[in-house]
Structure 1
Amino acid sequence: MSFMTMLTKKFKLPSEDEALPGRDAAITPTEPHFVNGRSLTGPYPANTKSVLFGMGCFWGAERLFWQLPGVHVTAVGYAGGHTPNPTYHETCTGRTGHTEAVLVVYDPDQIAFADLLKVFWESHDPTQGMRQGNDTGTQYRSAIYVSSAEDLEVAERSRDAYQHALKQAGKTASITTEIRQLDTFYFAEDYHQQYLAKNPAGYCGIGGTGVACPTGLGQSA
């Protein structure tokens, strides 16, 4: 395969036929959350809800959310693609279709979905397509994957509000964030989980646009 062909594949999502075959066995974290000691895989408390966020390298993104009051647990992994039970190496080839994602399990009585969305929009640049800063490839694309039609509506409304805020700030680029209803999440390998708590000096590529996300975007129960 030529260098140019490899580069093209890095920025183009594969079709289901083009994706790597993956495997039957899932990666299952063997350790609890490094920061709060809770189970990454559940079962989660009955009153909690979940959302998946893709916003570039998942190391820094996960740290943003585990610090928020009302978040029960976080984990990193892969979502939005075709390959079943992918590995990190496979995802980085661009041939699984997945993006690096953070699973956020939260108590909606303590923190609203709209508050999580505010952190999401303000903490990365959602206009960059298949990249985030110097991190390039389909696995770094911006994404919100929700588990209900109600949350989908809230997420889309927040996107429109943030697009307006960007325009008001003089930024002309369009938001490229993929927003859809999806609950398939594949856990990443143990060493990726809560990486920046285990390695405080580790790489963090998180950086926003400098534009605040409007409040009052609506809440999901």
Structure 2
Amino acid sequence: MTAPIHAIFGRPLGEPVPSGFEEIILGMGCYWGVERLFWQQEGVWSTEVGFAGGTTANPTYRQVCAGGTGHAEVVRVVYDPSRISTEQILKIFWENHDPTQGNRQGNDVGDQYRSVIFTTTEAQRIAAETGRTDYDNRLAVAGYPAITTQIAPLTTFYRAPEEDHQQYLHKVPNGYCGLRGTGVQASSAESLREAASGASDGNPEPSPSSAGGGSVVAGAGGAV
């Protein structure tokens, strides 16, 4: 079966990661808004929505929404680290959803909406755990509970078989998007790299979002 073509980038979905590029799998609630957030970032080569973290092979959207698969709605992000670093990707991740809510994002309730980072390299794991510790501290100062984000190595990513869900908010610009950031800034990518390497005092300073990753309130419409 021929793979669908990415509506923004014009290349087949599921393409192998190009040499020198990386992939990371992110869950921030309903995957439609998350995919749009990342296809808008310079240095991102491809995105696709799907499912990961569960036990059911090749699940459908209906199966995941019905519960029991263990999967989260996620976005596969393939990026050029010479143009956008893993730390920048994760800064955008932290700032554009509420990672403290457990099995929900706002009005979207269920384990498929949990906050997750599935890594494909050891460096990504270190960056994710460093960022989680830092952002957890910043959220605590702002009165938020502890971060519930799951960080784990990727086992299998299953692309959503519903072709109309891929790049959904490009095809349906006024469609539902549940992304809601906390308004709390994460530390700069440079500060987090220094903290992870021991080159700083371990107390990174926040900075305006890199590559358009500020907290967003995007889209409108009814829940799905």
Taking structure 1 as the reference length, the TM-score comes to 0.84
Q: Shift of residue 46 of structure 1?
A: 1.1
Partner of 2:145: 173
- Indicate if the aligned counterparts of 1:83 and 1:97 stay in contact, CA closer than 8 A: yes
1:68-107 mapped onto 2 (5 Å cutoff): 68-107=41-80
Kindly report which structure 2 residues correspond to 1:204-215, keeping only aligned pairs within 5 A, or say none. Answer: 204-215=177-188
Runs ≥4 residues deviating over 4 A: none
Q: 1:150 aligns with which of 105, 117, 123?
A: 123
CA distance in 1, matches of 2:55, 2:30: 20
Measure the CA separation in 2 of the matches of 1:58 and 1:94: 16
Describe how 1:34-73 pairs up with structure 2 within 5 A: 34-73=7-46
Which letter maps to 2:137? H
Give the conservation status (yes or no) of the 8 Å contact 1:146–1:183.
no
2:100–2:144: 8 Å Cα contact kept in structure 1?
no
Q: Give the residue type in structure 2 aligned to 1:73.
A: S
Q: CA deviation at 1:52?
A: 0.3
Q: Would the alpha carbon gap of residues 29 and 218 (structure 1) be closer, same or farther in structure 2, given more than 3 Å must change?
A: farther
What is the aligned length? Answer: 192
Counterpart selection for 1:186 from 151, 158, 161: 158
For residue 93 of structure 1, what is the amino acid of its counterpart? A
Greater mean deviation of Cα atoms: 144-153 or 70-79: 144-153
Q: Contact 1:29 / 1:41 at 8 angstroms: preserved in 2? A: no
Structure 2 letter corresponding to 1:116: I
Deviations 1:188-213 (Å, cap 9, x if unpaired)?
A: 02111000000001000000111001
Letter in 2 for 1:145: F
Equivalent position amino acid for 1:92 in 2: C
Corresponding residue for 1:119?
Answer: 92
Contact 2:43 2:81 in 1 (8 A): yes
Q: Is the 2:49–2:166 Cα contact (8 Å) retained in structure 1?
A: yes
Cα deviation digits, residues 98-141 of structure 1 (max 9, x gap): 00000000001111000000100000000000000000001000
Percent identity for Structure 1 against Structure 2: 51
Q: Determine if the alignment matches structure 1 residue 218 to structure 2 residue 193.
A: yes
Q: In 1, distance between residues paired with 2:167 and 2:144?
A: 35
Name the structure 2 match of 1:33.
6
Normalised by the size of structure 2, how large is the TM-score?
0.83
Does the 8 Å CA contact 1:29/1:187 hold for their aligned counterparts? no
Pairwise CA distance, 1:92: 0.6
Residue 17 of structure 2 contacts residue 23 of structure 2 at CA under 8 Å; is this kept in 1? no
- Aligned to 2:193, the other structure's residue is in SS state coil
Question: Root-mean-square deviation (CA), in Å?
Answer: 1.5
| TM-superposed deviation, 1:80 | 0.5
C-alpha separation between the residues in 1 aligned to 2:71 and 2:112? 6
Q: Distance in 2 between matches of 1:29 and 1:94?
A: 29
Deviations 1:136-192 (A, max 9, x none): 0010000000012221111001000001111222x2301000001114100002111
